[in-house]
């Protein structure tokens, strides 16, 4: 479970995220949407412990990401928007290194590495140096590394960028499968068709403020636009935000829909 409790993050005078209140339960695949510069990346960096909130608190499975950062990190898996690997390690060595960092013993590590190599179809290149990998190969390896310790919460930032159609299908199926087994999945994406296809709920952030929280059907009703794609709904809602002074923003429509 993920909880943002009135979270604000400032950089000097600039307010990147303002008063974010958000709860995402176990077993939900949540899509976090917004234009460039809306506050998505800042929110994610606070969630995974790379930034501290200026105000408010973030909890992951009940663990405060600042006061209890080690416990919070233990239950988190994170796939960033850019894969960072060690060029002079092979993919297998990288996975083994991550497994050790996650505290898995030798037997657990070997089993987890073999399982993720199989899950992500890495066998053809996993023993080659990471410096030889394409973007898609690197992204698959990072996905595999994020799941080695079977995290209760999976955070993915732009997971489909640079992936071929087969890998995109694999990633979408993986995220839905993880949610169906009780994992909380927090996905930030610009690929609105992916959010439309697999997300249980969506949140739209603009100018640092959450301006919508609910399902696509609820967003259609909110805007009085039936049988409309998520892309069209998103563009209309964020275009309306363009008319609002920066730092304010329309009220949040929080319908509180969760998976049972």
The reported pLDDT for the residue numbered 202 is 94
**Beta-bridge mates of residue 157:** 188
CA distance 178 to 62: 20
Q: What is the mean pLDDT of residues 186-192?
A: 89
**How confident is the prediction for the chain on average, in pLDDT?**
87
The reported pLDDT for the residue numbered 88 is 95
Q: Record the pTM.
A: 0.86
User: Which segment, 135-149, 153-167, 239-253, is predicted with the most confidence on average?
Assistant: 135-149
Other CB atoms within a 10 A radius of the CB of residue 216 amount to 18
CATH T-level assignment (fold) for domain 2-75+151-241: Rossmann fold (3.40.50)
User: Which segment, 156-170, 181-195, 209-223, is predicted with the most confidence on average?
Assistant: 181-195
Per domain, the residue ranges of the chain are 2-75+151-241
Tokens 């690197």 correspond to 138
What angle is formed at CA 41 by the lines to CA 231 and CA 199, rounded to 5 degrees? 40
- The better pLDDT of the pair 90, 259 is held by 90
Give tens-digit pLDDT for 26-80. Answer: 999 999 999 988 999 999 999 999 999 999 999 999 999 999 999 999 999 999 8
């Amino acid at each position: 479970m993920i909880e943002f409790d009135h979270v604000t993050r400032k950089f000097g005078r600039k307010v990147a995220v303002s008063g974010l209140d958000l709860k995402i339960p176990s077993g939900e695949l949540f899509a976090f949407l917004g234009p460039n510069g809306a506050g998505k990346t800042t929110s994610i960096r606070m969630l995974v412990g790379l930034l501290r909130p200026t105000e408010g608190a973030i909890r992951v499975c009940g663990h405060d990401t600042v006061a209890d950062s080690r416990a919070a990190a233990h239950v988190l898996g994170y796939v960033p928007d850019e894969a960072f690997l060690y060029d002079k390690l092979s993919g297998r060595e990288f996975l083994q290194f991550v497994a050790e960092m996650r505290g898995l013993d030798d037997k657990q590590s070997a089993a987890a590495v073999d399982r993720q190599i199989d899950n992500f179809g890495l066998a053809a290149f996993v023993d080659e140096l990471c410096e030889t990998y394409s973007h898609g190969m690197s992204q698959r390896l990072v996905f595999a590394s994020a799941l080695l310790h079977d995290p209760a919460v999976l955070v993915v930032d732009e997971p489909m960028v640079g992936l071929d159609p087969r890998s995109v299908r694999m990633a979408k199926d993986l995220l839905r499968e993880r949610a169906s087994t009780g994992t909380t999945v927090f996905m930030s994406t610009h690929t609105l068709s992916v959010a439309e296809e697999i997300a249980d709920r969506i949140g739209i952030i603009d100018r640092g403020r959450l301006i919508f929280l609910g399902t696509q059907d609820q967003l259609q009703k909110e805007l009085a636009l039936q049988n409309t794609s998520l892309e069209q709904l998103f563009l209309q809602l964020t275009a309306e935000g363009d008319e609002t002074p920066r730092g304010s923003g329309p009220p949040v429509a929080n319908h509180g829909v969760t998976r049972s």
